[in-house]
A and B are shown apart, each in its own frame.
Chain A
Amino acid sequence: MFKYVLQRILYMFLVFMIITFMCFVLIRMLPLPVLPPEDKHTYQILRRREALGYNEPYLVQFWLFLKNIVTKWDWGLSEKLYFGQDVWKIFVGKLPATMIVNLYSIIWTIPVGVGLGVWAALKKNTWIDYFLSTATMVVISVPSFVYAFLVQYILCFRLHWFPFLMKGGTDYFSWDMFVSIVPPVLSLSFGVIAGFCRTTRAELTEVLTSEFMLLARTKGLTRAQATVRHALRNCFVVIVPGIFGEFIGILGGSLIIEGIFAIPGVGRLTLDAINSLDYNIFMLSTCFYTAIGLAASLVVDISYGFIDPRIRMGSKK
């Protein structure tokens, strides 16, 4: 197991480096904005680009980029969006807002989504199942930003229940902050709940008809005990990777939600960095998302062993 994990981490590092290098080169290959010829500032920009080494070979630039990170944990300075500012500080300053919204979203979507899925599975072929399945299909088909506008219009504008925008400041666990986070969390959650509901229902429906479930019941377990201890645990082999997948998905989905609810998070920062070709911010965001993605896949793989003892990591047999 240990050897397997070590091996996966090494592979992960290799993939991380390849992706990082590719992104480093690709973003620099994008043409820089055309400078207006008659603007007197044009030459200051060109001089600065030269001083920053933009005209050097990519490999030279990449080597310096890596060296600064490894030796000084220096991710460079922003050249466009936050001119002259340390991109690490900017990124770290914005990370909590993104994380808190995603965390709240995940915290309540898992139990609600799985719960609805279990209910639908247990009430298979009843009106409850039909209703939930249909609703799931409808909800899952609508992108999260549509919910954002609906939530904002109904709950914030018409009913005045919530503020339009996320509260300012860094008191992430205050009541006012919580209230202001409800609209973006709701907007992000509908699709996720529907997704969990659909997956759980599909898996559980199949497991509930298995022979070992019959055996469990004949052993004297109640329906609830059999469902929770045996059926659900089997389902989690599929659901748990889904949870990590959704977490990454929500991080991606929140790029737009962050804009609509003025969440000062890293999602918006990434989009802005790409649009303005702010190399260093883009690279830090890319490395972050890549690392999260790779780490999540590793955790998912390892979690299989815990969820289902039949799965043995690194076994060659």
Chain B
Amino acid sequence: MKRTLAFLLAFVMVAMALVGCNPKKGNGDDTGDVGGKNPNGSVEITEFDPNAKYTYKAAVSTVPTGWNPHTYQTADDAVYFDYTTDSLYTLFFNDEIHPQEGREAFEGYVIVPSMAADFPVDVTEAVKASHPQFNIPESATSGYAWEVTLRDGLKWQDGTPITAQDFVDSLERVLRPELINFRATDYDHGTYAVVNAEAYSHSGRYVLGEFVSAALGDDEYVDPADFTVSENGTYQVDGQDVVIDLTSGGNWGDSLLDYYNTKDAEKEEDRMPEAIINAIGALIEKADANNWVYINAETIKMVQDVIAMLHGAPNVEAYAAAPGVGDYAYQEFEEMAFLGKTWDTASFDDVGLFADGNKLTFVFANALDGFYLMTYGMSTSYLVKTDVYDKSLKPTESASGTAWSSTYGTDLDTSVSYGPYVLTEYQNGKSMHFSKNENWWGWTSDVYTYVDPDNGKCYRMYQTTDVDLQYVKEAATQKQMFLNGQLMTYGLQSNDYDDYRNSDYYYATPAETIYFLLFNGYESVINDREAAADFDKNARDLQTQMLESFRRGCAVSIDREDMAKTVSPARQGGYAFIGNTYIYDPETCAYYRDTDQAKQALVNFYSINLADYDNDLDKAVDAITGYDPETAKAKFAEAYQEALAKGYITDADNDGKSDQTVTMYYAGSGEINEFFSKTIDYLNTSLNNGAKGTGLEGKIEIVYENAGENEWNNKLRSGLLDTQLAGWSGAVLDPFSMADTWTDSSAAYWGAWYDATKHDMELTIDGEKITMSLRDWALCLNGTMTKVGDKEYNFGYGQTTVENRLTILAAIEEQMLTAYNCVPILQNGSGALLSKQVYYIVEDYNPMMGRGGIQYMKYNFSDTEWETYVQEQGGTLAY
């Protein structure tokens, strides 16, 4: 009996161990408890084996070539900062030590002081009184000036202390006018600008600023008659010269020189008409050495004519006479005209950052608070060790004078870490190796700790002791190295998904971009195209795609998840304008798609009967596939009848089938490749399957047309081409701003035929029924004061409750979906394998935190154990 009981007990224990075992988490912690407590004093810190080495080995496609925080330009170079820098405030996953109300552990994040000793203190009133040079608005009582006390014990990698003055001196250097540092604009422009930083960085220089229409606000133009005239005849706005930079297209994208240079194109179709080339050539003759044309009484007409010609009109007068153009013809050049002026000489003493002992005071040009203040406003990425920095500066004689360069952050001698790791080996173009920075305060502090959700133990972050980055160019090489245990991750290629999609070590990462299938609704242009001599009206039809029934039929014919698997395995089905990675409240990491408003919008759009799902929104949303063959058939049948009635198609032989093939021309940007080919094949098959049993069966075709790299966009917007699987994304922390883009006719693909200012929407906000156009709702949601009758509304950030803003955003999204200018099909994403040597303690992806990176990465094997393990497996691992 005892034996039987013992056997049963053993069996149960083994079974429990197996059930609880995560295959990604192997042979335990490799740790020993050696005491220590976390900040709340409740949990012992479990230390990792101090003698073990844990090396994170990664492949990079480009080894950083320079990581001067004032000049780096690429994300590749920024990799260095991931390991070697610290910040005043940082984000941690929420857990027992860093709790967040109402959220399960590791579902969100919290802001934690890192180099700062505590959270910032608002000193607006005091600074306003003591430093009038900062021009803090009289009415402002908070948000402009913030004081931060630095943590004790901050050190550079060589052990010398980091002081508050180091931050000030570093900001001075990044902004120093003669250095023309690439990163200066991170601190002197925009929402997070330090006050007077721009005046200092532009000190004594003639600088072209923003283009006119942007400088004056969204969609604002100046009547040229209102320009003032300077002494030398140059037109001005607010005392600044109006200048065309021939090398920059401003808001237009392509510059006038780009158009001019098409004269040398090999193919005739790639060349601009001779009249345009000549007109731009005349402007070039008026330009100075910088290729700048100062707008005056003579050049304004030349520029206006060029713009008109680019629209196909002979001159600006003819362009203005075209329907719906009018005065805009005379003002459109302001989208590529910049405002230029010579800045007064300024002193850094007036720039809004100063130190007092271990306290730093920031003064911003705009009021800031909370998350944005601590993460973006107080970004101190400009921190450099100034003695090393100054030695690295070098003047270079150029044809135009002197240009300064710096070798700071280009090798071991010029790199100074103040973060967890220090650069210990570097071979340019080949590899980088980082080891623990023993002088980083975080290794011995209790701040960088977390509670593992699996075992409830408290650990220090950064189990990794070394980081090894190697240049590995080819994906095939990366894969082989990964399988031989030499790399930690491998980003899957499209042909890998069949083998690894179901692996325990596979991680899918969603991205922001949603891909939409566009429809052409530009009726007059479609009619013109059909009327063209070379269009065979008996064989093809372009008009039916304008019918809503046809578009709805298309929308529900496509099995999105199947399409993703077939065409682009890294992606997933897309069902809405806003994907599932957008956060509407960065303070709490709250996702827009998780809100009731957003769910209801989808339920409405996909005509889901909530009662079928126990009135549970979550269940109803989970059931959405976007694929409904029955509805597709009904809608295509309806479209067929409608198209016949309108004369878009015919059925001369009365066989119940359209005589014409409903055709949509796909706007390609180059020769068709495998991806496009698969996409179009899939779409054609899906749409015709959806139309089975209707008069459109076998009569729908998407045809790829190479419109050229520069023209596909214009052709889509002008209705000359019909469709595309177009990607669209927005700011991950501000889904509200996307509503602005959808309803802005100058930004949206459908702007030429769908005018959001003419589509009204009624909403009840705070018990009040308000009706305004979709465009006004979108503007109002993004902070524009909007007048309805006698009342003015502003539903921008901080102007109303978040709930109201969500209600408005969801309503606009639903309206835009039901307009069927496009239908969401796919959401972008990527997939990767993670080595068996490590695991993430967080499985779910968070747009701000990822899966925690090496900060939260844990090891199943130390380096030595891993080597043995790989050898035991025969040198090649199975995933």
Contacts and interface: CB of A to CB of B under 8 A. Distances in A.
A309 interface: no
Contacts of A56: 289, 399-400
Given A82-B65, A156-B480, A157-B484, A44 B429 contact: no
Interface residues of A, number: 55
Given A46-B247, A53-B401, 10 more contacts: A37-B252, A38-B251, A56-B289, A68-B397, A84-B71, A84-B410, A85-B410, A90-B428, A149-B474, A264-B430
A168 interface: yes
B184 A83 contact: no
A77 B405 contact: yes
A43 B209 contact: yes
B474 A55 contact: no
A286 interface: no
Contacts of A268: 429
A51 B400 contact: yes
B248 A37 contact: yes
Contacts of A94: 428-429
Contacts of B321: none
A64 interface: yes
Interface string B363-380: 000000000000000000
B339 to A, nearest CB: 12
Interface string A48-90: 1011110110001100100010000000111001111100001
Given A38-B251, A85-B407, A165-B470, A43 B400 contact: no
Contact of A35 (B68, B248, B251, B429): B248
A264 to B, nearest CB: 4
A122 interface: no
B398 A51 contact: yes
Interface stretch (B253-261, B543-551, B674-682, B834-842): B253-261
A168 to B, nearest CB: 5
Interface string A24-46: 00000001101101101111111
13 contacts: A35-B248, A41-B185, A44-B180, A51-B403, A77-B396, A83-B68, A85-B65, A85-B66, A94-B429, A157-B876, A158-B876, A165-B477, A168-B425
A52 B400 contact: yes
Interface string A152-169: 110011101000111011
Contacts of B249: 34, 37
Contacts of A93: 428
A37 B250 contact: yes
A61 B399 contact: yes
Contact of A157 (B181, B214, B250, B483): B483
Interface string B645-657: 0000000000000
Contact of A83 (B65, B261, B476): B65
A38 B481 CA distance: 40
B207 interface: yes
A53 B427 contact: no
A45 B403 contact: no
B132 interface: no
A166 B477 CA distance: 13
A181 to B, nearest CB: 14
Interface string B258-277: 10010000000000000000
B248 A84 contact: no
B477 A260 contact: yes
B290 A50 contact: yes
A269 interface: yes
A166 B473 CA distance: 13
Interface in B68-99: 68, 71-73
Contacts of A43: 185, 207-209
A315 B255 CA distance: 59
A153 B480 contact: yes
Nearest to B480: A157
A262 B61 CA distance: 10
A5 B8 CA distance: 95
B71 A34 contact: no
A37 B407 contact: no
B272 to A, nearest CB: 15
Contact of A84 (B257, B406, B472): B406
A42 B407 CA distance: 22
A84 B66 contact: yes
Contacts of A34: 249, 253-255, 258
A268 B402 CA distance: 30
A164 B184 contact: no
Interface of A: 31-32, 34-35, 37-38, 40-48, 50-53, 55-56, 60-61, 64, 68, 76-78, 81-85, 90, 93-94, 149, 152-153, 156-158, 160, 164-166, 168-170, 259-260, 262, 264, 268-269
B394 interface: yes
Contacts of B405: 77, 83-84
A261 to B, nearest CB: 8
Nearest to A269: B429
Contact of B258 (A31, A78, A170): A31
A82 B207 CA distance: 27
Q: Which of B181, B254, B400 has its CB near the most chain A CB atoms (within 10 A)?
A: B400
A83 B71 contact: yes
Contact of A260 (B66, B406, B473): B473
A52 B290 CA distance: 12
Interface in B456-502: 470-474, 476-477, 480-481, 483-484, 486
B396 A55 contact: no
A303 B391 CA distance: 50
Contacts of A51: 180, 398, 400-403
B429 A42 contact: no
A83 B71 CA distance: 8
A94 B180 CA distance: 29
B431 interface: yes
A136 to B, nearest CB: 27
A84 B68 contact: yes
A76 B395 CA distance: 11
Contacts of A269: 429
B535 interface: no
Nearest to B876: A157
B224 to A, nearest CB: 21
A37 to B, nearest CB: 5
Nearest to A262: B471
Interface string B160-192: 000000000000000000001111111001100
B290 A55 contact: yes
B291 interface: yes
Contacts of B250: 37
Nearest to B181: A44
Nearest to A35: B248
Nearest to A163: B486
Contact of B400 (A46, A50, A260, A262): A50
B875 interface: yes
Interface string B426-450: 0111110000000000000000000
Contact of A262 (B255, B396, B470): B470
A244 B115 CA distance: 60
A37 B244 CA distance: 13
Contacts of B66: 82-85
A231 to B, nearest CB: 44
A283 to B, nearest CB: 15
A48 to B, nearest CB: 5
Most chain B C-beta atoms within 10 Å of own C-beta, residue among A42, A46, A81, A152: A46
Interface centre among B68, B396, B399, B428 (most CB of A within 10 A): B399
A85 to B, nearest CB: 5
Contact of B182 (A45, A90, A169, A259): A45
Contacts of B428: 82, 90, 93-94, 264
B675 to A, nearest CB: 23
Most buried by B among A31, A34, A259, A262: A262
B189 A40 contact: yes
B211 interface: yes
B410 A37 contact: no
A219 B399 CA distance: 72
